[in-house]
């Protein structure tokens, strides 16, 4: 292998790795993500866990607007930016003991707990950023 090709391999691997890691803004899944606000023209919002912070949520909102308008994020201006905390609810499946089965003879009985599925909703601390996305001059 020529020396030049050997020197180029780490660069190509690094580029492929970085390209594979870049992805779009997370779409809204009912709890967190980026979505348009249907009743307001060119208004969008991004919701995520509160622990991620205001700067992260605003950056994701700008990135989502850039994807929607098909331009660079640096060219997006967030007009009427509103950032506020929310409390959401997340559904979670849990196993609930429903009974006991007995296996074995009368002197040596194994007891085994039987579980069933149930669901419950839990509160989650969220932060929402919403704004009108404008292309900056």
Average pLDDT, the chain: 82
Contacts 24+ apart (CB under 8 A), 22-28: 24/63, 24/64, 24/67, 25/60, 25/63, 25/64, 25/67, 26/60
Q: Is the pLDDT of residue 97 over 70?
A: yes
Q: Which two tokens stand for residue 120?
A: 């419950």
Lowest mean pLDDT of 42-46, 75-79, 89-93, name the range: 89-93
pLDDT-above-70 percentage for the chain:
79
């Amino acid at each position: 292998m020529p020396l030049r090709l050997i020197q180029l391999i780490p660069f190509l691997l690094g580029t492929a790795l970085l390209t594979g890691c870049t992805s779009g803004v997370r779409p809204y899944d009912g709890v967190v993500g980026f979505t348009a606000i249907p009743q307001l023209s060119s208004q969008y919002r991004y919701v995520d866990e509160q622990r991620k912070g205001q700067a992260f949520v605003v950056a994701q909102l700008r990135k989502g607007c850039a994807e929607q308008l098909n331009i660079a994020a640096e060219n997006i201006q967030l007009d009427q930016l509103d950032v506020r905390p929310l409390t959401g609810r997340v559904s979670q499946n849990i196993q609930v003991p429903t009974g006991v089965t007995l296996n074995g003879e009368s002197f040596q009985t194994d007891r085994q707990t039987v579980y069933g599925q149930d669901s419950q909703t839990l509160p989650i601390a969220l932060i929402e950023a919403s704004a009108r996305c404008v292309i900056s001059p």
